[in-house]
């Protein structure tokens, strides 16, 4: 009886230890999710400020200054929240301090462009935009945030591995006890089932976090971070194999009218429908992504200029011909403007994106609902 009592005590102690480890692991996962969500909100606010400023510089309409100002305030507030969430992590504090410096540099650049436009110096503002200074700055901010996100995912992986290792040690101990005392089999089975379920939950949550880190939640397409990482990979592959690589950026025309008329629910319905059209009209080998807001992108490996132009014209026609249901009895149609660039020479992925972006603005300026090929 004494031996059985000791075995029972050992089993209970092991079970309580495993439960404590699972609670700690759960807290780590929740913390990681909070940090990743705050980073995503910061990225969204940064892109909103850029789109607002670009909209004002492109049209001169002061209505775009509101999302620009809101994006400035929200990006700085979210970055402050991130620093609070990671105050005990020196590595993350350095990452976020770097992000703060880059954010202020970006906001100052955009503020200079807006100030020039307000003073009637549109030509100078346009020259700053054409130089890509603001987009380069925002890429710096997003790159710094990506480092913070990668660090958080790395910590989660380390902690998950430690938790899994501890769970395995606990399992081995339980099996040893089962071999010594057959009377403890029932309790051991309960402990093992609980540990297995906890392990599956850990794996499922890790997979969900990975999907969230690479996928746009509204459309199910690749998010900006995953898209940029893949572009760099495909650029290296294209240069190594000597095959063509094309990249297209498309923007929904007059999207603000949709939000103003039908609200954000209507705007979300349009974004999801555009994502569906993208899936229907592109190849399985193409990478589809949402850059942010109403901007989407298509990365087309082994595709030359003529093929890319035909593919984008096919996509443009499919969008223009699609009737989109916003609510029962409420339908609309939209068009898209597209800029396409073919990888050239030794340019990097960000340069390829920049040329496609310039072609997109030419399509917008040229009347919208058209495809423009980059020079």
Domain 224-373 fold: Alpha-Beta Plaits (3.30.70)
Which three-class secondary structure state does DSSP give residue 290?
A: strand
How many angstroms separate the CA atoms of 322 and 335, rounded?
A: 9
pLDDT band at 204 (very low <50, low <70, confident <90, very high): low
Give me the half-sphere count of Cα atoms (radius 13 Å) on the Cβ side of residue 175. 7
* pLDDT over 80 (residue 88): yes
Report the Cα–Cα distance between both ends of the chain, in Å, rounded: 86
Least confident of 23-37, 247-261, 280-294, 345-359: 23-37
Residue 188 has pLDDT above 50, yes or no: no
Does 345 score more than 90 pLDDT? Answer: no
pLDDT bin (cut points 50, 70, 90) of residue 302 is very high
* Structure confidence at residue 190 (pLDDT): 65
Note if the pTM is more than 0.75: no
Which position has the higher pLDDT, 15 or 66? Answer: 66
Residue pair 291/360 in contact by the 8 Å Cβ criterion: no
Higher pLDDT, 153 or 184: 153
- Poorest-confidence range of 47-51, 144-148, 182-186, 244-248? 182-186
* Least confident piece of the model among 181-190, 291-300, 304-313: 181-190
- The secondary structure of 303-370 as a DSSP string is --HHHHHHHHHHHHHHHHT--EEEETTEEE---EEEEEEE--TT--HHHHHHHHHHHHHHHHHTTSSS
Which of 149-158, 260-269, 302-311, 327-336 bottoms out in mean pLDDT, i.e. has the lowest?
149-158
Other Cβ atoms within 10 Å of 211 Cβ, number? 11
Over the stretch 114-146, which tens digit does the pLDDT of each residue have? Answer: 888 888 887 887 777 777 777 787 788 888 888
Question: What's the rounded mean pLDDT across residues 254-271?
Answer: 94
Return mean pLDDT, the chain. 87
């Amino acid at each position: 009886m004494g031996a059985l009592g000791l075995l029972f005590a050992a089993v209970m102690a092991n079970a309580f230890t495993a439960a404590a480890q699972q609670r700690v692991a759960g807290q780590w996962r929740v913390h990681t999710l909070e940090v990743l969500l705050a980073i995503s909100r910061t990225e969204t606010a940064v892109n909103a400020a850029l789109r607002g400023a670009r909209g004002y510089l492109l049209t001169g309409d002061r209505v775009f200054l509101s999302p620009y100002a809101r994006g400035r305030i929200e990006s700085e507030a979210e970055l402050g929240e991130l620093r609070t969430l990671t105050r005990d992590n020196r590595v993350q504090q350095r990452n976020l301090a770097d992000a703060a410096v880059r954010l202020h540099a970006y906001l100052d650049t955009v503020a200079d462009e807006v100030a020039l436009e307000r003073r009637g110096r549109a030509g100078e503002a346009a020259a700053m935009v054409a130089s890509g200074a603001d987009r380069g700055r925002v890429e710096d901010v997003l790159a710094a945030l990506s480092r913070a996100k990668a660090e958080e995912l790395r910590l989660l992986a380390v902690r998950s591995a430690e938790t899994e290792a501890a769970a395995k040690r606990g399992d081995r101990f339980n099996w040893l006890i089962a071999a010594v005392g057959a009377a403890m089999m029932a309790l051991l089975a309960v402990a093992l089932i609980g540990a297995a379920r906890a392990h599956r939950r850990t794996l499922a949550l890790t997979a969900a976090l990975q999907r969230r880190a690479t996928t746009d939640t509204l459309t199910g397409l690749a998010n900006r971070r995953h898209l940029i990482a893949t572009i760099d990979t495909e650029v290296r592959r294209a240069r190594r194999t000597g095959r063509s690589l094309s990249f297209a950026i498309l923007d929904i025309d007059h999207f603000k009218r949709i939000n103003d008329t039908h609200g954000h629910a209507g705007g979300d319905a349009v974004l999801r429908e555009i994502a569906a059209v993208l899936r229907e009209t592109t190849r399985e080998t193409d990478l589809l992504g949402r850059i942010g807001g109403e901007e989407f992108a298509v990365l087309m490996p082994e595709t030359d200029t003529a093929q890319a132009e035909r593919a984008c014209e096919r996509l443009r026609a499919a969008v223009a011909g699609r009737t989109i249901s916003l609510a029962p009895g409420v339908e609309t149609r939209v068009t898209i403007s597209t800029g396409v660039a073919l990888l050239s020479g030794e340019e990097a992925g960000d340069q390829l994106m920049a040329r496609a972006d310039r072609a997109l603005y030419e399509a917008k300026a040229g009347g919208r609902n058209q495809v423009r090929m980059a020079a």
